[in-house]
Every structure is written in C-alpha cells, then in structure tokens.
Amino acid sequence: MPDCRPPLASPSRPRHVLPAGACDTHCHVFGPGDVFAYAEGRSYTPPDAPYAKMAALHAHLGVERAVVVQANCHGSDHSALLDALAQSGGRYRGVALLGADATAAGVKQLHNGGVRAARFNFVPHLGGAPAPAVFDRVISLIAPLGWHVCLHLDGAMLPQLLPRLRALPVPFVVDHMGRLKAADGLESPAMRALLSLADVPQAWVKVSGIDRIASGQRPFAEGIPFVRALAEAMPDRTLWGTDWPHPNVAGDMPDDGELVDTFFEACPDAGLRQRVLVDNPARLYGFL
C-alpha cells in the first residue's frame, strides 16, 4: 500500500505563460506498479504516477520538455524511466540511479534511451552518502558519455563536499537548492555555500523543491528570495523543476500551477527566465 500522498488531482492553471521550449528539469514517474514493480527494500511506496499523468500535467502547465529523475522506490531498475522517455518522442531526458552493480554496457543502454546524468542521494532518509569507491566508479563510467551528476544532499553537507566536487571531471547539479532551510536566512552557511558555486564553472543548481525549503505552507513564498538570489548569481547554470508528484512531502501538497507562478514572481526578468527555463536545460541535457 502507498505510504505517500498523491499529488493534487486538479492543479490550477498558471496565470503566466511559459516560454516555448520550457523544461521541467525535475519530475518522477512511479509505476504503474503492476507493470513496473517497485524495488524490494525501498524506503517508501508512492501512489502510481505513470507517464500519462506526468505528460498531462506538463500539457496543463505549458511545459514542452522534461527531465525524469529515477526514483529511489524503483532502485536500479530503470524500466519505467526508459518507457517514459520512449513515449515522450525525444521531449524528455532522464537521470539514472547507479550503484556498485553499474556496468559500461548498462550505462550505454541508458544513454541510448535518453539518459544524460546519474543521481546520488546523500540524504539520510534515502540511505545516506554513497561509498566513495562507488561514487568514483560511476563517475568513470559516465564521463566518457558527457553525462553530469545530480546531487541530492542537505545544504549543511555542501561546504565539506566542495573540494571533492571541484575536482570532478564532469559537471554537477545540486538538486532542490541543497534542501537548505529558508528559516535560516539568506546568510546561512548553506546558502553561502550554494552561492559560492557561482565561481565553480562545472557547478549548476536546481531551484526545485521550494516547498521543501519553506515552512510547508502554500504558496511557499519564503522560498522566493532564495530562488531569486540563486538565479541571479548563476544565470547560465540555474535550472527549474516541479518535483512532481512530490514524494514524501511533509507539509501542504504543492499546486504545480502555483509553482509556475511562484517562479515568475521570483524571476521577473523575461531574459533570465528564458535562460533558466529553456536555454540552460537545452544546453545541459542536449535538447539543442
């Protein structure tokens, strides 16, 4: 039985119109479980959120492209992800979860299916940091294909990780604004560490998961200054995403239409929005 809440059944339609080619760089596909089984030993069981529902949401929002991130509940079985990418007809790219059992042949198969990155979960509720040897081996497998890595971590971890990240031979993306806490303010060590990435050419940041850094109450307005500061500091290396279907949300379930409008409030400059929503993901994920 699912132990996560489902996304809103009827999200609002955004008041603002997304630009042509807008990309949701962080969303997930779950199941359906009777077709794509969930992993044994998973840390959570979501309600099914199949490709058709994800595509319908994107059509509702005006999103033309997306990056589907492999979910922990599917483990190393990427069947649901690859099926979604195939159904998208090239409009979606993927991010894989790779571990000690990853092989060069398997990575090449994922690449041929539209995957362009590997994700590492450092947060405790998803198993904690990967073993250094596994991390380094995965990097060695993906680097020849031009992939990057996505890092799901707590912002407090970032200062100690920065020396290692600076030495990576591939670009890296910090997901969900490093899950910092808006209540700690713009001068918090986590936010200062994120902003320091502006000086790291291979570093990117994803202004997704605004609900995860805010108080948990819609429309998560206290996260707006953080989105704005990051986009202005890293205009050519900032990405935006919904995080649909919002697994393991503790507070209010986000309204994805509101999330679009909140981003417009955080990023009122049309030129900067074009870069974050269209140009940056097109360059990083190969939509060009």
**Among the listed residues 25, 5, 20, the one whose alpha carbon sits nearest the alpha carbon of residue 280:** 25
Taking a C-beta distance cutoff of 8 angstroms, is the pair 24, 67 a contact? yes
Alpha-carbon span 273 to 22, nearest angstrom = 9
Would you call 243 a catalytic residue per the annotation?
yes
**Among the listed residues 125, 132, 137, the one whose alpha carbon sits nearest the alpha carbon of residue 44:** 125
Torsion over CA: 242, 273, 117, 136 (sign): negative
Beta partners for 94?
68, 115
Beta partners for 238?
205
Catalytic residue among 243, 255, 256, 279: 243
Largest CA-CA distance found in the chain, in angstroms, rounded:
47
**Whole-angstrom distance between the N-terminal and C-terminal Cα of the chain?**
41
Residue 69, helix vs strand vs coil: strand
- Residues forming the active site: 243
